[in-house]
Amino acid sequence: RALMRLTLFALAITLIATGFAAKTPYQAVLQHSRIRGRTHGPNVCAMQKIQGTDKKYFTNCKQWYHRKICGKPTVVSYECCPGYEKVIGEKGCPAALPLVNIYKTLGVVGATTTKMYSERANLQEEIEGPGSFTFFAPSNEAWAALPTEILDALVSNVNIELLNALHYHMINKRLTSDDLKHGASFPSMYQDFDVHIHHYSNGIVTVNCARLVKTDQHATNGIVHVVDRVITAITNNVNSLIDNDDDLDTLRTAVAAAGLTNLLENEGSYTIFAPTNEAFEKIPPNTLTRILGDPVALKDLLNYHILKNLHCSESIVAGTPLETLQGTVLEVGCDGEEMTINGKAIVTQRDKLGTNGVIHYVNELLIPDSAKTLLELVEGSVVTTASKLFKDAGLTDHLIGFETLTLLAPLNDAFKDKSLAMTPDLKKLLRNHILKEKFSSKSLYHGQELETLGGLKLRVFVFRNSLCIENACIAAHDKNGRYANMFIVDQILAPPMGTVMDVLKADDRFSTLVGAIQRAGLTELLNKKGTYTFFAPTNAAFSAMPPADLNKLMNPKELANLLRYHIGEEFLVSGAVTSHTRMKPLTGDKLELGTRNSSVYVNRVPVVETDLMATNGVVHAVDFLLNVMIKTISYFSASSQCDVPLCFSS
């Protein structure tokens, strides 16, 4: 018996889960609105209205908590859910709407203008009589929004055009919101011309890009869905729409040159952000000529304007990354009434629907990285300082040519506190920021050597959370251009300058350390092949020690142990240090590394200069001896007179 109960319980859970899984997005968002409204009584739904407009939406979790739609604040109202009405003296909306014919239902749901035009067009008898219809009824506001000349042409002299228009809003069978599947088409009652349904993951349902604002209003002879605009018959594919619009002349020529005509004529469900003639005219002539003359770049450019799926403007309630045919994404969003692309309100006309897609007009050309030269990649990114320096260094020809290169472009912050005067040394350094081949960061591997235009060989280091070329770690996604790529890196490149011992000897700050290394017998170690990380004490570190303690360290064995504790067994540049990084030294247990306010710390000691690169390792300068810090840190941490360089709040 217990086993049977358990089996029945499991079956019930499965059925419930299946029921939830089968919900359409619209039903899911409607259920959420019901949950939010239930404290106000039965069958009450929470609605969000954009302030200053009449636009209302059933609410989902994200909209509820952010209280925003299209970036604009919303106010919450509580209204009867579809199909229910209030009863005087009772809480909520306990009564189902009376079941009457479609004609009367139009009045009940507030589509009174559609009801009036149904009378004028002699449609009343049909929608009062027997049958099973679906009527996508334009709201009163939808009729009011029609241009005057179109409305006059429809309603003047009670002509046949008005009846045809209303019949195009009707389907000769009953379709609930559950039946309105994404991508479905249904023959209308006007010459069987299809109406096109799109049902989006955020719960919005559209018919010919008109949003359903009141759904599932049942009638004795069908069902009414109120929509927010008057829809018109769709007969042409998107290529025909482009062909017949003088404002898209340049686009039409480009589509033909790129061989995309067949794509736009075939069956599909695309979204096209169609650049107008004005959009093409805004591009520098040389750039436009180059792209139009390059079939590969031109095809990439046009495919970057085409989304893989159809998105009516009404489906967008927040910024959403959507994949293009070019393979990358566009951030499609909205700002109030404006539709935006990559954060810019450049859409001038929306929802021109074809049989195989929808067109939104844009007044700016969207150029993908894959159609850009290296110079265009640099100038269009956040590395403005590097852009100027590369041009000042006379490297422009490499940035605009057809060479397969990879540019290492440091972030602007990397040049902070650096002299930017163009010198032969800086020119040479910048040439070493250009690799001779076109690389993808995903193809780089640990220990790989990359040759620069300056003739140097740079090493690749792969860390758990970082990918670095020498000391410069990649700080952003690759920018993949037409011929060349760009890696944005966090630092100016520092090529290796000899062995660790050579680096120390070349820097006057380490003169005491160099003598200590020689006394301790570690010179050979720091000259031989390896991957050492040396937290190198400066002269100031030794000077800070009491003379008595310093004298004790002059014993070669003690000195060797001290210095070996400062040397890690692996290679680690500053860009690979995370908040909790550990490293095993040559002597001792471990070194604790971390970052704070963009500075690197080792055993809570600040590193005063990072990434002095060597052929067999890397040197980081510290102004204190690390094992001395271990013995004294507890004292300083407990002291109210804490010396900031020696201790800090963790």
Confidence of residue 629 (pLDDT cuts 50, 70, 90): very low
Same domain, 244 and 366: yes
| Residue 390 lies inside a defined structural domain of this protein | yes
DSSP string computed for 125-180? HHHHSSS-EEEEEEPHHHHHTS-HHHHHHHHGGG-HHHHHHHHHTEESS---GGG-
Same domain, 212 and 269: no
pLDDT at 611 over 90: yes
Same domain, 340 and 391: no
Q: pLDDT tens, 544-557? A: 888 887 777 778 88
Mean pLDDT value of segment 409-425: 87
- Which run of H or of E encompasses 636? helix 626-638
| Residue 67 lies inside a defined structural domain of this protein | yes
Q: pLDDT tens, 220-247? A: 999 999 999 999 999 999 999 999 999 9
Same domain, 247 and 361: yes
| Residue 582 lies inside a defined structural domain of this protein | yes
| Residue 628 lies inside a defined structural domain of this protein | no
Same domain, 364 and 386: no
Higher pLDDT, 614 or 53: 614
Distances (CA, A) of 65 to 68, 316, 591: 8, 18, 45
Q: Among residues 435, 467, 489, which one ends one of the domains? A: 489
| Residue 274 lies inside a defined structural domain of this protein | yes
Q: Among residues 307, 337, 370, which one ends one of the domains? A: 370
Residue 73's domain comprises: 26-85
Average pLDDT, the chain: 90
Same domain, 276 and 358: yes
Overall number of domains in the chain? 5
pLDDT at 571 over 90: yes
Least confident of 190-204, 531-545, 621-635: 621-635
Least confident of 52-61, 72-81, 186-195, 621-630: 621-630
Mean pLDDT value of segment 145-162: 83
Pick from 464-473, 544-553, 635-644 the range whose average pLDDT is largest: 464-473
pLDDT at 630 over 60: no
Same domain, 414 and 435: yes
Domain at 517, CATH number: 2.30.180.10
| Residue 12 lies inside a defined structural domain of this protein | no
| Residue 342 lies inside a defined structural domain of this protein | yes
